[in-house]
Chain A
Amino acid sequence: MISPPFREGVKAAVPIWVAYISTSFALGISAKAYGLNLGEIVLMSALVFAAPAQFAALEPLASGKPALQILLITFLINLRFLVMSAAIAPYFGRVRRAALLFSSHLISISTFIIPYVHFQKEPRKQARADGIEEWGRSNFHYFLGLAATCFSVWVVGTGFGYWAALHVGPGFKEGLKFMLPGYFACILTVELKRKTALLIGMASFLLAVPGALLNAEWGWLVTALLIGTVGWGIEQWIQRGPR
């Protein structure tokens, strides 16, 4: 039986499906261009479920680079999921470990940010009053409804993109490329209210590109982590006040 939070999660996922369709299409098209076959790219989408790591792996895979190098790239690019997974975990309360083990595979940037923002709208004190178990289960069902459908769209979209690779005109590349980053930017615009969070977002947006140009592998990641840490540190320092 489908619970109301699960249905709510599915509804919240619809905008992500729209963005995923274009990106997974692009991934399928790129995979075909690099010479991977349909089974390989669909398997990759099902097992990795992370656009940046998948895009980054296409060239090394196609050119026969060492396995260790490809695994290292995947690890470094996906390291951000460690933070996201840690950040979202407390909202699942006391959900069973087997279920958490299953669902953790579904964490991606989009399937993290929407539930995370949603969970923060519900005060934790209220959750304690209603019962931590029920609160965690409700959050988990919401996440599952959103993430499982996004995952399905991602895998099917990749396969369909591969199949359609020869039929999509290159004239629509710009609009497709814009969709995913554009959607993230719009979500942040609507959700970021706190001044520190806004400043951190702006600084990271402006400095990530110079960081990436300084060092193609680590640059933007280190820059973003530094900005987040320094912004938080300054806020902590100001809040403590003079002693």
Chain B
Amino acid sequence: MDPARTTIIVGMGLVSYLIRALPQLFLAGRSFPEAFERYLRYLSYALIAGIISTNLFLAGPRFEAGAAPHRALALAGAVLVASWTGKPLLGMLIGALLAQTLSWLW
């Protein structure tokens, strides 16, 4: 392994660990006001929804216009199946199948 790259990777690990560990150390066992808990929850939902669309429609800083229609269609299918059956895994598998098939067809 390249020593310089290995050092950077260890640094990345340290940075990631501190971000995760500090709230656990200082906030564990304490209860927040209900409104603040709801705020954190909404922030998480917003972040996750943002990750979904950016992962699905962007390649780096570029919008993947060619692939966007069939990925959106696959997502709609997955969400419909999950909503109808209440099974997220089934929805994801149907969506992945749709995304793959539509990419072959288009």
Q: Which residues of A contact B (CB under 8 A)?
A: 14-15, 18-19, 36-37, 39-40, 43-44, 46-50, 52-53, 57, 61, 67, 70-71, 74-75, 78-87, 89-90, 92-95, 97, 100-101, 103-105, 107, 109, 112-113, 116, 124, 136, 171-190, 192, 196-197, 200-206, 208-209, 211-213, 216, 220-221, 223-225, 227-229, 231-232, 235-236
How far apart sit A188 and B25, CA to CA, in the bound complex (Å)? Answer: 28
Which chain B residue shows the least CB distance to A206? Answer: B53
Given contacts A89-B23, A90-B30, A186-B79, are A204 and B49 in contact (CB under 8 A)?
A: yes
Interface size class of B (residues with CB under 8 A): 35 or more
Q: Please indicate the chain B residues that have their CB under 8 angstroms from the CB of A79 in the complex.
A: 19
Instruction: Find residues 56-106 in chain B having any chain A CB closer than 8 Å to their own CB.
Output: 56-58, 60-61, 63, 67, 70-71, 74-75, 78-79, 81-83, 86-89, 91-93, 95-97, 99-100, 102-104
9 additional contacts (CB under 8 A) given A50-B16, A183-B92, A228-B43: A81-B19, A89-B24, A90-B27, A95-B28, A105-B17, A177-B55, A203-B49, A228-B45, A235-B38
A40 to B1, Cβ gap below 8 A?
yes
Given contacts A19-B92, A89-B23, A186-B91, contact A109 B30 (CB under 8 A): no
In the complex, the chain A residue whose C-beta lies closest to that of B55 is A181
| A48 touching B9, Cβ below 8 Å | yes
Inter-subunit contact B19/A85 (CB<8 Å): yes
Closest Cβ neighbor of B60 among chain A residues? A216
How many residue pairs link A and B with beta carbons under 8 A? The number is 306
Q: Given A40-B1, A189-B83, are A201 and B19 neighbors across the interface (CB < 8 Å)?
A: no
CB closest chain-A residue, reference B77: A182
Q: How far is the CA of A84 from the CA of B1 in the complex (A)?
A: 33
B45 with A201: CB separation less than 8 A: yes
B51 touches A188 (CB 8 A): no
